[in-house]
A and B are shown apart, each in its own frame.
Chain A
Amino acid sequence: MSARGRAIAAVALRSGASAAWRSGFGLRPRAERRRAVARALRLACEALGPTFIKLGQLASVRPDLVTPEMVFELERLQDRVPAVPVDAIRDVIRRELGAAPEHLFASFDPEPIATASIAQVHEATLAAPYRCVNGRLLEAGARVAVKVVRPGVARLIADDLAVARRWAERAERIRWLARWGPNALLREFESSLARELDLRVEGRVGDRFAFDFADDPLVMVPAVVWTHTTRSVLTSEFVDGWLLSELGEAERAGIDARALATHGAEVFMRQVLVFGRYHADLHPANLIVTRDGRIGYIDFGIAGRTTPPQRQAIAQVLVATAYGDAERALRASRALGLEVPEAVEPALRSGVARLMRAHLARSPADVRGFVTGFLGLLAEHRIAIPEGYGMLVKALVTVEGVARAIDPDIDLIEASKPFTTRLVAAQLLRPERLRERLPAALRAALAELMA
């Protein structure tokens, strides 16, 4: 075993032992045991560094793969890491962009504004004007954020993945582990990580998002400065304001918090239901309320996708959920791949109805509580969660979290009712739906006319 392999095994053993201790060696109640295991896993990921922190973050948006306890524990993963000395950052910039930051920018702040497991962000100002993809001109002197991949991270991740590959091979030969398809999972994870290490991907997703929302005056997406962007360096317009995670009463007083939170929820609905591309890991550290009261979106790491038929079904699920119709919500979920055996259908339906009454019928609605209960219910009935469905359900909770960070009293269900209802009404009028829903007489007449 390599040195890194041994280090990983040691952390795994230690956290396994700690989880065993905290769960009373399996004697505590099941939910408590699961929570203990989830916590141990989160701490282990934090101890093991970037590869595992990213793995944890990816798992946290996949309730189809891990238990609900794990989903909600892993989203708390923190990647507080010490800053990389600015000279090392300068070297990366010189290698990637061909000159030292002092030559490329009018100014470059040696103090980072943020450090994370994969990258570090510095503030700078442009030396020359730049025309962005959306056509806007950034003047010379404009403030920009320069995100730089930490030196050595790519190497470390490659080493970790080599270890993981050997373990996955072994796990594939152990029956109860093979059920999870460790090799396939690892490959999926590798491709997500590769995308995340190439900052150009993030830049392009951002530009596309800005294009989709060009007509929305409340959405701000920093434009990318492509002449100063490569695989390991991403230069983008600086978003000036307050991170949602730091938004306090004083800042809230200066903006229309309710309207902005509602708008944030609508933006998400539009992403999911209209454009088919959505932020799967929005969190309050990825969003900035700008000084002029707009929402700035800064991180485009994990994105979900929806196809047109899925969008229709999702809209139905959302409306049914908003109006507390368990039966319809489950029926529409079927179109999204949720397979409910007939025998458990009545129990599931009444379970969902109960959750809806408990969490959604009160004011403000508690989407998080509802989703947690719902995922638990599915696990209890051993119903497999389709990948896209799980990601979406989780994303909804995230959106509630984000909206609450702007306006603590917001009711996500109430806020999204007008939008989803409008959308479903429009959707019902689509040609492909018409055929389904027109009364037989009208259909026959049409058929005759077209013959």
Chain B
Amino acid sequence: MRDVLRFLAAWALVHESADEGWRAAVTRGAGLSPGDLERGPDDFVDGLAALVDAEKERLKRDLAADGGGVAPTEGASDRRDADLTAALEAVRFDLAELRGRIESLQTSVDALHAERDD
């Protein structure tokens, strides 16, 4: 999602002066709160325009901060941290689940041994 926004933001940045309609949509969209979609698609586009605009401002700041380079931004590294944490949690769960399966199987093996030795 963020990538798409970034992409649209880049587009909006390049076309900064282009579209009056777009600017108006941004203004209207900024006044919406999440879930306000009474007017359906129109509200949606306004909301999107506002989101893209916010992302555009961020992009501008990022570009200014690193002199136009493409180094990862602070926002991006936060994002990567969050992704990594989530991935780590998921793998940790899979591993723990596997341990559970093994413990259960070991119990079954031990039980069969005990039964044979009885």
Interface of A with B (CB < 8 Å)? 95-99, 133-135, 200, 203-204, 207-208, 211, 224, 226-231, 418, 421-422, 424-426, 428-431, 434, 437-439, 445-446, 449
Q: Report B90 CB to chain A, min CB distance, Å.
A: 8
Chain B residues near A135: list those with CB within 8 A.
92, 96
Q: How far is the CA of A426 from the CA of B37 in the complex (A)?
A: 11
Q: How far is the CA of A135 from the CA of B34 in the complex (A)?
A: 36
B65-118 with Cβ < 8 A to chain A: 92-93, 96-97, 99-101, 103-104, 106-108, 110-115
- Are B11 and A434 in touch, CB under 8 angstroms? no
Chain B residues near A98: list those with CB within 8 A.
107, 110-115
Q: How far is the CA of A429 from the CA of B15 in the complex (A)?
A: 22
Contacts A96-B108, A200-B104: A434 and B4 contacting too (C-beta < 8 A)? Answer: yes
> Which A-chain residue is minimally distant from B38 (CB atoms)?
A323
Q: Tell which of A97, A208, A445 touches B107, judged by Cβ atoms closer than 8 Å.
A: A97
Chain A residues near B37: list those with CB within 8 A.
421, 424-425, 428
Interchain residue pairs A-B with the least CB separation, the first 4: A98-B111, A226-B100, A421-B35, A226-B103
Q: Tell which of B48, B93, B110, B111 touches A133, judged by Cβ atoms closer than 8 Å.
A: B93
Q: Report A169 CB to chain B, min CB distance, Å.
A: 35
- Are A95 and B4 in touch, CB under 8 angstroms? no
> Which B-chain residue is minimally distant from A446 (CB atoms)?
B11
Chain B residues near A133: list those with CB within 8 A.
93, 96-97, 99-100
B1 interface residue per 8 A CB criterion = yes
Contacts A227-B107, A230-B104, A429-B1: A211 and B35 contacting too (C-beta < 8 A)? Answer: no
Chain B residues near A200: list those with CB within 8 A.
101, 104
- Are A425 and B34 in touch, CB under 8 angstroms? yes
Q: Which of B41, B106, B113 has its CB near the most chain A CB atoms (within 10 A)?
A: B41
Q: Report B35 CB to chain A, min CB distance, Å.
A: 4
Interface flags for B11-32 (1: CB within 8 Å of A; 0: not) read 1000100000000000000000
- Are A429 and B113 in touch, CB under 8 angstroms? no
If over half of B's interface residues share one DSSP class (helix, strand or loop), that class is named, otherwise mixed; here it is helix
Chain A residues near B51: list those with CB within 8 A.
429
> Which B-chain residue is minimally distant from A432 (CB atoms)?
B4
Chain B residues near A96: list those with CB within 8 A.
107-108, 111
- Are B41 and A437 in touch, CB under 8 angstroms? yes
- Are A99 and B114 in touch, CB under 8 angstroms? yes
- Are B93 and A431 in touch, CB under 8 angstroms? no
Q: How far is the CA of A134 from the CA of B111 in the complex (A)?
A: 26
Contacts A133-B93, A134-B96: A437 and B108 contacting too (C-beta < 8 A)? Answer: no
- Are B44 and A422 in touch, CB under 8 angstroms? no
Chain B residues near A203: list those with CB within 8 A.
100
Contacts A230-B104, A425-B34, A429-B48: A207 and B97 contacting too (C-beta < 8 A)? Answer: yes
Q: Report B58 CB to chain A, min CB distance, Å.
A: 16
> Which A-chain residue is minimally distant from B114 (CB atoms)?
A98
Chain B residues near A439: list those with CB within 8 A.
45
> Which B-chain residue is minimally distant from A98 (CB atoms)?
B111
B33-63 with Cβ < 8 A to chain A: 34-35, 37, 41, 44-45, 47-48, 51
Chain B residues near A421: list those with CB within 8 A.
34-35, 37
- Are A431 and B4 in touch, CB under 8 angstroms? yes
Q: How far is the CA of A227 from the CA of B44 in the complex (A)?
A: 53
Q: Report A437 CB to chain B, min CB distance, Å.
A: 6
Chain A residues near B104: list those with CB within 8 A.
200, 226-227, 229-230
Q: Report B46 CB to chain A, min CB distance, Å.
A: 11
- Are A228 and B107 in touch, CB under 8 angstroms? yes
- Are B45 and A422 in touch, CB under 8 angstroms? no
- Are A207 and B100 in touch, CB under 8 angstroms? yes
Q: How far is the CA of A207 from the CA of B37 in the complex (A)?
A: 37
- Are A438 and B115 in touch, CB under 8 angstroms? no
Q: How far is the CA of A97 from the CA of B100 in the complex (A)?
A: 15
Q: How far is the CA of A340 from the CA of B27 in the complex (A)?
A: 41
Q: How far is the CA of A27 from the CA of B108 in the complex (A)?
A: 58
Q: Report B38 CB to chain A, min CB distance, Å.
A: 10
Chain A residues near B99: list those with CB within 8 A.
133, 226
Q: Report A318 CB to chain B, min CB distance, Å.
A: 13
Extra contacts besides A98-B114, A135-B96 (15): CB < 8 Å: A97-B111, A133-B96, A204-B101, A227-B104, A230-B108, A421-B34, A422-B34, A424-B35, A425-B37, A425-B47, A428-B37, A429-B1, A437-B44, A445-B11, A446-B11
